[in-house]
Structure 1
Amino acid sequence: MSFLKKLFGGGDKSGEAAPAAAKAQVEHKGYVIKAMPYKEGGQWQTCGIIAKSVNGVLKEHRFVRADRFSDEDSAADHSLVKGRQIVDQVGDRMFDQG
C-alpha cells in the first residue's frame, strides 16, 4: 500500500520543502514587511514579502536580494531593512502590474 501512495502522490513528503513561515515581521508606514529568508547554497538568502491592504484588497510584493548570510537571523534582519528601503523608495508603485 505504501508504494501505491507514493506512486499516486500520497505518503511521506518529508523530502519536500515545506512552505516557509515568516521569520520576523514589522509594520512600516502602513505596510507589513515579513522576513522570509531561505537556505541557498549553504547560506541564507535575503527574501521577504511586503503587504498592504489597498481599497480592501490585500496586495503583496515578494522581493529577493543577492545578499546572503551564514545565519538565518542575520538574513531575516537584513530582509526587514531591505523591505523598509523598498517601501520608502517605491511605495504603492510596487503593486503596479505593468
Structure 2
Amino acid sequence: MHRICGRLATGQSYSGQARRAADKPLQWRSHLHRKNHMLNWLKSLLGGGDSAAGANTVQHEEDYNGYHLAISPIRVGGQYRVAGTISRVDDPDRVYRLIRADLCPSMDIAVEQSLMKARQTVDQLGDRMFDQSP
C-alpha cells in the first residue's frame, strides 16, 4: 500500500509505530549517505583515493656509472614509497624495477632516498641485478 501524508492509500491512518517503521528505510539510507560522505572526506584528507594519485611519474633521471636511473616514487596514502627503474645506457631494453618497502613523508625525500638506493644497487650488483629481475 502507498502512503499519502501519513495515511494509507485506502484513507485509513495508521499508528505512530507503523509510521516509524515505514520511515526507517529512508532514515537508514540517509545514514549510509552521511557515513559514505564522511569516509570520502577522511580519505581525501589523508591523501587516499584515486588510483591515478598512485600512478608513477618520473621525478628525476640521471646516468650513473653506465646505467640510466629513472626515479619515480609511488604514492601510498599520504606517503611515498621508494621506487624507480634502472637500465643500461647502451641497452635500454634491460630494465630492473626498484621497489623498496621504505616510506617517506614527502616526494622530495622519497626522490633522494630512491636515488640513493638505485646508486647503491648499481654499485653492489652491477649487471647481476638483471639476472634477479622477474
Q: TM-score range by the shorter chain?
A: 0.7 to 0.9
Structure with greater strand share of residues: 1
1:28 maps to 2:64: yes
| Aligned counterparts of 1:67 and 1:57: Cα–Cα separation in 2 | 26
Bigger-Rg structure (1/2): 2
Per the alignment, residue 64 of structure 1 pairs with 99
Q: Give the structure 2 partner of residue 78 of structure 1.
A: 113
**Bigger RCO of structures 1 and 2 (CA < 8 A, at least 6 apart):** 1
1:66 positional shift = 1.5
TM-score, reference length from structure 2: 0.55
Say whether the 8 Å CA contact 2:68–2:89 is kept in structure 1. Answer: no
TM-score by length of 1: 0.73
Which residue pairs with 2:77 in the alignment? 41
Q: Flag structure 2 segments of 5+ consecutive residues without an equivalent.
A: 1-49
Structure 1 unmatched runs, 5+: 1-14
- The two structures, once aligned, show a CA RMSD in angstroms of 2.1
Distance in 2 between residues matched to 1:29 and 1:89, nearest whole Å: 12
Tell me the matched-pair count: 83
